[in-house]
Chains A and B, each alone.
Chain A
Amino acid sequence: MVTPVVALKHISKQFGGVQALDDVEISVLPGTVHGLLGQNGSGKSTLIKILAGFYSPEPGACIEVNGAAVHVPVDYSKRDVPIGFVHQSLGLFAELSVTENLLVRDWARGFTWLRWLRQRRIAEALLEDYGLVVDGRRRVGELDPHERATVAIVRALHDMGTGRQPGAHDPRLLVLDEPSAFLPREERQKLHGVLREIAKSGDAVLLVSHDVEEILDVTSDVTVLRDGRHVGSATTSDLSERDLVEMILGRAPERLRSAESAHAVAREREAPLASAEKVSGRRLRGISFDVRPGELLGLTGLAGSGVEELPYALFGAAARTSGTLMLAGRRLDLARLSPQAAMQAGIALVPRDREEEGGIVSLPTGDNLLLCVLYRFARANFLKTRLMRREARREMAALQVVPPRPGIDFGMLSGGNQQKVLFGKWLVTRPRLLIACEPTQGVDIGARLELLRRLRESITSDSAGIVSTVDYEQLVGLCDRIMVLRDGALAATFGPEVSKEELAAAVLTYDPRPGGGALTTTGGTTGTSLEAER
């Protein structure tokens, strides 16, 4: 029997009474690419953070590295644990050269002269081992996305080697946390080639992914988590796409219905409140859609599908956007739209990052809340502060912010209360089109429902809302229509009666091509049943 590179057994973790992981196990064999799959909230990232020594698991857990039990939580400070991590953000310095990025940790200690030619040769040779031929002097920022990912991966492998005893040739484990989410499809193939190369050399890869297609393509074994539990481990080649989706969801995906529902058809007749045309950008590739008055439109997709970008593009806050937006009879050129102009046209964006984009943590909540409507409290440019205070207190009470005191710093509020304030900040502008980006991220479950209900209620007959999130489950039962993005294009549109499973299947699997029959989840003879819009 082959000794696993890393074996985790009896891993449980509770967060304040919530069972995030319940007796999970996983073992990764040398020479394999092992997939770790599951929906958002299935416990994947908690498991990875335990492996990374970031969280302590509950007592009883056991982590073995090459057959020997290691101390839990894992201590990486001595650099003697042969496990390396590459996160989605890669952690590279875009302005520095390939050589500098790759070897930076060799230079973290001590004092030696750097002989650049030699260093460059070392870096180039390291990369060449994994099939990447690149000039070590190039800036990482100008590499292709898959080349950047490869640099990060090779760096992780290289760092694992640096702290070890010479002569130690135990296999190593590389953990990749959704490394390809931001890669275009053809570049993913190249990255997968690198992963196979690593496995061939006897090391192992643990690949965390949402993406069923990717798992099928590159992994040899797979472990699926659901609701914090270990659903199963299997050899990938024994599984079909349908089997995998079933393991992830816990039940067979239903046959997918057509996008059109009676509700949507009824709405079809109304003139749209807003129509976006050929919206393109960094990830977006010519998306067109309408939003009708009174409608709440859901927008979802995997990370990197463009779902993060579209809200900002519509608000004039994303670089390199093109396309147009017709809103209530006005035509906005998205290439030149600024946030100010978007606001004047009646668009509001509740941004994704509450503390970096939404509000200023070191300033009073009341000031944050009324920032966009300061003009209402000004006479000849002088602020009527008493009126502002009263209005802020009134709004905060209406939003049920606790404590409802405008003087408290925004950063002192809990996540849910911060989000309520940010909703309020934009609702007071009385927007025609309210776009909320990941509105419930980091918000506890009670406040989450409350927030979504409030969002729903804020939409009137002559306004509309868009909720954009990668957490697609929360859109079900909330939105009038749900659009799924994939690779920067619209993959599918659903009516309000869509089930979680249908939506999950559309988000997680291949986008169906008209007549292509690429979708295996239907299980029927009809071939494609998802309607690709336009």
Chain B
Amino acid sequence: MTEVSRVEGGGNVEPTVAADAPGPVRSRPRARKILLFQNAERYGLLVIWAVIIVVFSILEPHTYPTFSNVSTIFGSQAPLMIVTLGLLIPLTAGDFDLSIASELSLSAMTVAITNVNDHWNIGLSVLAGLGTGVAVGLVNGLLVTSLDLNPFIVTLGTGTFLEGLVFGISHSNTISGIAMPLVNWTNTNFLSIPREFWYALAGVILLWLALQYTTWGRRLLFVGRNRNVARLSGINVSRMRLSAFLLSGVIASIAGILYAGTTGSADPSSGQTFLLPAFAAAFLGMTTIQPGRFNAWGAFIAVYTLVSGIVGLELLGMSTFVQDIFYGAALVMAIAAARLMAQHRTATT
């Protein structure tokens, strides 16, 4: 049905206030103007990304537009990309999940502790990491659905709880020395880019398909837009929300495993640096490709647009605080842009 909205267009719609009147007549120049706006909206962020790349390539011709830099950008941001994908699922269902970052830390730390300290087989450690994702997702989902609690507050609480837990089990130490198979599995280059990028890309494609072309995705969207309509349409709203939390927990744990693989270690405070970027990317991604909806390709573009800008600024000699400035500003601008676009859409159509 995305096909529908894309081909028919969410926006190329004439005024339909008096839609009982016989078929509307399209005025050509107006239609073209609307189409132009639609495309500007849909691909605007791609253009911004291109501009960022061009500007920094001119400013730093020897360091920015190099293959190694591109490869680093794509590879290093794979955990962020994946954790953002997980976040898109509860967001689509209308729920916030603030525990994703802590879950990422917990999963990475579980892999590190079981593998390094307890000498588990790396495969078992990875399974244990995934297990934490299942557990956290279920706890969040059950608290929210069966007790009807506010997900924002619940996940703020569980997230903080988990963060403390991670510091506890690691005694606040970074644990390094994770077995090579995992490190190779994430870091080996494929087509000159670390494998984890390709995993993230596969995740983008999977989530795109799941949200757009499955009954589950369609139900999730309806649940997110209006619980009442969904309930009266025979959708089990609680089960959908539970599945969304479960998946975001599991996907965050996958991101944690990749993160552990990237560095070969787990650092108890690392996860928190993903929270705001993930939200910024999810909301910025909502302004592009499928404007007005959380969508996987939009999130992909948003993650890499933001990172391209940050890396460029860092190469210019700015210190790491630009990250926070950049992500924070992007989050606020993204929701402002989404709101303005939505207003414009209703005004033009």
Contacts and interface: CB of A to CB of B under 8 A. Distances in A.
A357 B229 CA distance: 4
A349 B213 CA distance: 27
Interface string A412-439: 1110110000000100000000000000
Given A356-B226, A378-B214, A388-B4, A414 B16 contact: yes
Interface stretch (A122-130, A322-330, A361-369): A361-369
B23 A407 contact: no
Interface stretch (A104-112, A174-182, A398-406, A462-470): A398-406
Contacts of B119: none
B341 to A, nearest CB: 13
Contacts of B8: 364, 389, 405-408
A371 interface: yes
B4 A407 contact: yes
Interface stretch (A1-9, A40-48, A53-61, A379-387): A379-387
B228 A356 contact: yes
Given A360-B225, A382-B214, A367 B24 contact: no
A446 interface: yes
Contact of B232 (A351, A378, A382, A408): A351
Nearest to B209: A382
Given A343-B234, A374-B219, A367 B1 contact: yes
Contacts of B235: 340, 371
A447 interface: yes
B5 A364 contact: yes
A158 to B, nearest CB: 34
Interface string B1-16: 1111101111001101
Most buried by A among B23, B229, B292: B229
A409 B231 CA distance: 20
Contacts of B292: 362
A403 B16 contact: yes
A375 interface: yes
A372 interface: yes
B4 A385 contact: yes
B221 interface: yes
A54 to B, nearest CB: 21
B335 to A, nearest CB: 16
A348 to B, nearest CB: 9
Contact of A385 (B1, B228, B229): B1
A383 B217 CA distance: 10
B325 interface: no
Given A367-B1, A388-B4, A406-B8, A378 B215 contact: yes
Contacts of A357: 228-229, 232
Given A403-B19, A417-B19, A371 B4 contact: no
A382 B213 contact: yes
A363 B234 contact: no
B233 interface: yes
A517 interface: no
Contacts of A173: none
Contacts, number: 132
Interface string B233-264: 11110000000000000000000000000000
Contacts of A405: 8, 13
Contacts of A344: 234
A15 to B, nearest CB: 15
Contact of B10 (A343, A364, A388, A414): A364
A392 interface: yes
B21 interface: yes
A253 interface: no
Contacts of A370: 1
A381 B18 CA distance: 38
A406 B13 CA distance: 11
B225 A407 contact: no
Nearest to B12: A407
B20 A402 contact: yes
B300 interface: no
B14 to A, nearest CB: 8
Contact of A414 (B14, B20, B216, B236): B20
B1 A366 contact: yes
Interface string A107-141: 00000000000000000000000000000000000
A389 B216 contact: no
B234 A340 contact: yes
Contacts of B222: 360, 363, 367, 371
A403 B14 CA distance: 9
Contacts of A407: 4-5, 7-10, 13
B218 interface: yes
A84 interface: no
Interface in B1-49: 1-5, 7-10, 13-14, 16-24
B273 interface: no
Contact of B215 (A362, A383, A389): A383
A389 B3 contact: yes
Nearest to A388: B1
B16 A413 contact: yes
Interface in A259-280: none
Given A367-B222, A402-B23, A414-B16, 7 more contacts: A339-B231, A358-B229, A385-B3, A403-B23, A407-B9, A409-B10, A414-B17
Interface of B: 1-5, 7-10, 13-14, 16-24, 209, 213-216, 218-219, 221-222, 225-226, 228-229, 231-236, 292, 349
10 shortest A-B CB distances, which residue pairs?
A: A407-B8, A343-B234, A385-B3, A374-B215, A414-B19, A360-B225, A340-B234, A389-B4, A412-B16, A402-B19
12 contacts: A317-B232, A339-B231, A343-B234, A344-B234, A385-B1, A402-B21, A406-B1, A407-B4, A407-B7, A414-B17, A414-B18, A414-B19
Interface of A: 315, 317, 338-340, 342-344, 349, 351, 356-360, 362-364, 366-367, 370-372, 374-375, 378, 381-383, 385-386, 388-389, 392, 402-403, 405-409, 412-414, 416-417, 425, 444, 446-447
